[in-house]
Structure 1
Amino acid sequence: MQRTVLEQVEPVAGDTVSLVLRGADGPLAPWEPGAHVDLALPNWLTRQYSLCGDPADRDSYRVAVRHDRLSRGGSEYVHLFLRTGRTLEVSVPRNNFPLLPAPEYLFLAGGIGITPIVSMLAAAVEAGALATLVYVGRSVATMPFADELRAVHGDRVRVYATEEDGRPDFAALAAALSPQALVYCCGPASMLDAAEAAFAVQQLHIERFKPAVREFAPAKPFTVDCVRSGQTVEVGAQESMLDALNYAGYRVPSGCREGVCGSCEIAVVDGEPEHRDDIGAPPGRMYSCVSRALSSRLAVDL
């Protein structure tokens, strides 16, 4: 973890604040557009936020936090109690939503889903690519960074305030794209579902804040062999692998516990994982908060 000092809290929409976190011990770890960090809050909660500042700025990170009225304590604490000058620990950035090279981009953002897109759009423009942002929200007042993005990027940004403008036609947007274009989409589940229906699979890249609803076979117990320590851990049908490892004394990091942040990644040495995450574990890895085993035993690097 990296120590930072909360330098600025600034409203950027009716229910959203921007936080600027300055490194307390020198330059912060580098990052690329699409990355996110774990922010450890003083109320013992850890939450994941996309970085929406300038990757060239190694002195500070910027994130934005929407006040969720059904908050489990994270966004509520940020909005009601967090003050400048507070020291906060922040993880090294992780990127499950990387910006791949392309001559053309279409960025689709809904509400707080704009956060990873801010730096992506800037990077695409800097690279000389043809880039368009379609930004959707209930009203402009509820859309973080809308004015900032229009001021910087002009006609590249199309804002749809649905109370006045309705929703954009994704099918028409898809028809206008070149085959070489890539589409990056982040927002509510309804937007992601509409994007998946409209755009070609090979073009579309999405990031979910909540896992997609999927059906799996009933969970079965399995055994985890921790090869470095020589310990064996039994995982019951009604518990997660992450919880079983934590109970056995392994301090596996965790954040979302829903398979969308990647903080609980573990290296698999042997056996066949059952991947239940939403971000796509790389070969030889798995996310222990939701994923399980198809084989009766797994060997992991712990």
Structure 2
Amino acid sequence: MAETRPEPTGTAGPNRLMRVLDRVVGGVEWLHRNSRRDAGPARAVDHDLPLVISEIRAEADGVRSLRLSRPGGGPLPAWQPGAHLDVLLPSGRTRQYSLCGPPGERRHYRIAVRRLAEGAGGSREIHDELCEGDRIVARGPRNAFPFVRGRSYLFVAGGIGITPILPMVRAARTRGADWRLVYTGRSRASMPFLGEIGDLPAERVWIRPDTEFGVPAAGGELLAHAPPGAAVYACGPVPMITSLRLDLPGSTARGLHWERFSAPPIIDGRAFSVELARSGRTVEVPADRTALDAIGEVMPEVAYSCRQGFCGTCHVPLLSGQVRRRGRARGDDVALCVDRGRGPIAVDL
């Protein structure tokens, strides 16, 4: 799972466009939401898992992978494709990264991180400050992007989005399912794990760098590779996911499951305040930002994962006030990544 910042909201024009797109693709989105509901929120993992960085490798321009092992050796907790680790960095930041090694591998974990020069600092810390032999702490694995058993699949990855997709491809191949992989990116130099993907059957893989085609791929172009009745699993930037959602009804695929790099755009947002009851702070949330972003500036350790209201990582108890719900928080909880206060609210932080 890539470390990201929310996309800035645009002017009234783009906001109107996003509203139209949401109406157009509304009939498609239920497929993904039902898959999330069937799986349930990702299981909370509260215990710390000490790890040592046993190897760091350059995988592409600006991308490095980290191999993580137990300091004294021994097996790690089991995981399934789509799972990620909550990585607690020495600075106190918590970031989420997909496990991208072979499914079932328990001697070590592998994550990959793209350095974001303008990001919130987590990726720069990993790239610039961590070295082989350093110790870190993680929690997990947890799975907010579950891979459901089926007969046929289309996997679509955009850049660093290959990280959760690669274990799914390996699992589908092991199960004997009918599958295809479409891998897009700005250029081949920016696309990690091309060497490993080169070991897959060439007739099932399409590498599609933008520099070799002039423009990013359209959804219909990507979906044209789907086997009949395929479930589509996609991870990548918002325009790629939106294009897939728009063009899915006209394809032979039967459903779309996705993980995107950034939070959905805030449309018609209104400013509100959040009282952090335990810490005694009050945070002002601007109209174009989420509560998670604003709280993260004063509490960088606040946990989050999908940023889309599905996984449950950032859910906290709502103590007072009313919220406009956009996520899957239940009862008296609030999803900090997408829910918004209808006025001042207080939460248990």
TM over 0.5: yes
Q: Which residue of 2 aligns with 1:212?
A: 264
**Long gaps (5+) in structure 2:** 1-47
The RMSD of aligned alpha carbons is 3.7
Partner AA of 1:18 in structure 2: S
More helix by share: 2
CA distance in 1: counterparts of 2:123 and 2:344, whole angstroms: 40
- Determine the structure 2 residue equivalent to 1:78: 126
Match of 1:274 in 2: 324
**1:35/1:282 Cα in 2 relative to 1: closer, same or farther (>3 Å)?**
farther
* Identity level (%): 35
Q: Report the AA paired with residue 232 of structure 2.
A: V
Task: Tell me which of 22, 27, 32 is aligned to 2:75.
Answer: 27
Determine if contact 1:37/1:51 at 8 Å carries over to the other structure: yes
Q: Does 1:150 align with 2:198?
A: yes
- 1:265 is aligned to 2:312: no
- Letter of the aligned partner of 2:235 in structure 1? C
Say if 1:83 and 1:127 are closer, same or farther in 2 by CA, change over 3 A. same
Which position in structure 2 is the counterpart of 1:199?
Answer: 248
Equivalent residue, structure 2, for 1:105: 153
| Distance apart, 1:222 and its partner CA | 8.3
Per the alignment, residue 7 of structure 1 pairs with 54
Aligned counterpart, 1:182: 231
Q: Deviation of residue 2 (structure 1)?
A: 0.5
Aligned partner of 2:64 among 8, 13, 17: 17
Using a 3 Å threshold, how does the CA distance of structure 1 residues 234 and 11 change in structure 2: closer, same or farther?
closer
- How far 1:136 moved relative to its partner? 0.7
CA displacement at 1:147 relative to structure 2: 1.8
Deviation at 1:72, TM superposition (A): 2.5
Counterpart contact for 1:19–1:64, Cα < 8 Å: yes
Q: Tell me which residue corresponds to 1:68.
A: 116
Say if 1:10 and 1:223 are closer, same or farther in 2 by CA, change over 3 A.
closer
Distance 1:173 1:141, change over 3 A: closer
* Cα displacement (A) at 1:74: 1.6
Q: What is the DSSP-based 3-state SS (H/G/I as helix, E as strand, rest coil) of the residue aligned with 1:152?
A: coil
* 1:172-224, Cα deviation, whole Å (9 max, x unpaired): 44356456311111112221221122113961111122111132553556899
Cα deviation for residue 286 of structure 1 reads 4.4
Query: 1:91 aligns to what SS in structure 2?
Result: strand
TM-score by length of 2: 0.69
SS at 1:204 equivalent: strand
Query: SS at the partner of 1:199?
Result: helix
Cα displacement (A) at 1:10: 0.5
Runs (5+) with no aligned partner, structure 1 = none
Aligned partner of 2:180: which letter? T
Contact 1:221–1:234, Cα closer than 8 Å, also in 2: no
Q: 2 CA distance for matches of 1:214 and 1:222? A: 17
- Displacement, 1:33? 0.9
RCO (CA 8 Å, sep 6+): is it higher in 1 or 2?
2
Deviations 1:250-278 (A, max 9, x none): 999414695567432347899986334xx
- Judged with a 3 Å threshold, the aligned counterparts in structure 2 of structure 1 residues 186 and 30 are, in CA distance, closer, same or farther, namely same
If the length of structure 1 is used for normalisation, what is the TM-score? 0.79
Residues of 1 paired with 2:205 and 2:135: CA distance? 35
**Do the aligned partners of residues 45 and 163 (structure 1) sit closer, same or farther apart at CA in structure 2, a change above 3 Å counting?**
same
TM superposition shift of 1:110: 0.9
Aligned counterparts of 2:172 and 2:57: Cα–Cα separation in 1: 26
Q: C-alpha separation between the residues in 1 aligned to 2:274 and 2:123? A: 36
User: What corresponds to 2:13 in structure 1?
Assistant: none
Taking the aligned partners of 1:103 and 1:41, their CA distance within structure 2 comes to 39
Q: Alignment partner of 2:143: what SS?
A: coil
Aligned-partner Cα distance in 1 for 2:120–2:300 = 23
**Structural mapping, 1:158-173, within 5 Å:** 158-166=206-214, 167-173=216-222
Alignment pair present for 1:126 and 2:174: yes
Change (3 A) 1:254 1:162: same
In structure 1, what is the equivalent of residue 142 of structure 2?
94
Q: Give 3-state SS (helix, strand or coil) of 1:106's partner.
A: strand
